[in-house]
Amino acid sequence: MDYQTIRLTIEDGVATLTLNRPGVMNALNT
């Protein structure tokens, strides 16, 4: 799946989840 606002990277066994919603200051939908 391809998400536009969530990025997942995995390096050396460490997963990093990044929110990419600068227009709403990276707020989550409720």
3-state secondary structure of 24: helix
Residue range of the domain that includes 18: 1-29
Number of domains in the chain: 1
Q: Is the pTM of this model over 0.85?
A: no
* pLDDT at residue 10 in the model: 96
> Do 15 and 6 form a contact (C-beta atoms < 8 A)?
no
Q: Which of 5, 3, 1 is nearest to 22 (CA)?
A: 5
pLDDT tens digits for range 1-30:
677 888 999 999 999 999 888 888 888 776
Name beta bridge partners: 17: 8
> Do 16 and 9 form a contact (C-beta atoms < 8 A)?
yes
